[in-house]
Amino acid sequence: MEKIAIVGVGNTKIGEWYENSLRGLTDIAITKALESANIEPKEIESSFIGSMSPGIFNQQEHISALIGPHSGVGAPALRVESACASGSQAMRVAMMAINAGYYDTALVVGVEKMTDLIDIGDVTTALGTASDGEWELGVGATFPALFALMMRAHMHKYGSTLEEFASVAVKNHDNGSLNPDAQFRKKVSMETVMNSRIIADPIRLFDCSPVSDGAAAIILTKESLAKKYTDDPVYITGTGAGTDHIALHQRPDITTMESAKRAVKTAFDMAKIKIKDVDFIEVHDCFTIAEVITLEDVGFCKKGQGGKFSLDGETALNSTISVNPSGGLKAKGHPVGATGIYQVIEVFHQLRNEAGKRQVKKNDIGVTHNIGGSGATCVVNVFSRGD
């Protein structure tokens, strides 16, 4: 199997794009990605779109046909959906299509336009459809509430503290303040996080990632063709995915994510790396508890110690392990179906020393970790330069 290379990337700033549409945002991202790879639209042989819920957020399905042709990419297109992991799953499908020999090149787009809905209850419900509709959303569960169940169980089982969780948000805002594409480019204090209003106790507003609009696009090709488009391709050296029960209550331990452990093992084995080889990671911090659990599940610290690891500063930029140099979902923003592709683009820039003020110093191996729902889906990818 040939390695897959990323030869171009493009994205919009993440934020509240009241002046633009879902289609308009993808047009910006695709145009930048085509320019970045110096590739003609007609050279793109296939396209894969990751998006969670345009049907509810924008009353628009069939976005595979909405997006490509509008931007001059007439290749056969397919939308891939796995909740907040839609972007990463779309990239995996593109990799499989290339490795199966069907295509040499693929455009992968992640997009979500969440601010077309007026009522926050509508947004909460739209996102809630990624949980078990009959047995979670249908009895009043929301995503903040499901992650709050995990957070309280974690605090009860391991003695983790609200201060530890708050440190995740503070660190990600520190990094986000250095990222010109981030939704929130402002530092916050521990007090701001810990005194923010309660969303679903013990989760407060500043434990949560925001409602965001954004589109991100990458161009993939085979290793043997990569240098045709760029001198500095980034290679996907490992990929893994895991699927678990959609409902949190169906999983025996709600303080861990088996899907993540499985995805990490598959991806690391494929890339032939160990945890100590990872230089930096973009993790799915949709809520602060998610980053804490992930630090433990991926293996940067012992089970139950993720909060302390964070509060001790081990995850800060250029500390023991740089976690979410982009600012993460918390500060960079979380346009749900696009998030996986934004993570890949951050790793692309970090590996190529293009990340400006937030550039990590150790940058040989970068990893992305993208979850869907309350952890029922997880995708992990490993990246490196060709040198």
Interface residue list for another protein (CB under 8 A): 56, 59, 116-122, 124-126, 128, 132, 134-142, 144-145, 148-150, 152-153, 156, 197-203, 247-250, 254
3-state secondary structure the chain: CCCEEEEEEEECCCECCCCCCHHHHHHHHHHHHHHHHCCCHHHCCCEEEECCCHHHHCCCCCHHHHHCHHHCCCCCEEEECECECHHHHHHHHHHHHHHCCCCCEEEEEEEEECCCCCCHHHHHHHHHCCCCCCCCHHHCCCHHHHHHHHHHHHHHHHCCCHHHHHHHHHHHHHHHCCCCCCCCCCCCCHHHHHCCCEEECCEEHHHECCCCEEEEEEEEEEHHHHCCCCCCCEEEEEEEEEECCCCHHHCCCCCCCHHHHHHHHHHHHHHCCCHHHCCEEECCCCEHHHHHHHHHHHCCCCCCCHHHHHHCCCCCCCCCCEECCCCHHHHHCCCHHHHHHHHHHHHHHHHCCCCHHHCCCCCCEEEEEEEECCCCEEEEEEEEECC
- The answer to whether 286 is a known catalytic residue is no
Pick 213 or 346: Cβ nearer another protein: 213
Pick 1 or 139: Cβ nearer another protein: 139
Quote the crossing angle between the two packed helices 143-158 and 288-298, to the nearest 10°: 60
Q: Which residues pair with 75 in a beta bridge?
A: none
d(CA 316, CA 323): 7
Catalytic residue, chosen from 154, 173, 334, 349, is 334
d(CA 69, CA 218): 16
- Residues with a catalytic annotation lie at 84, 334
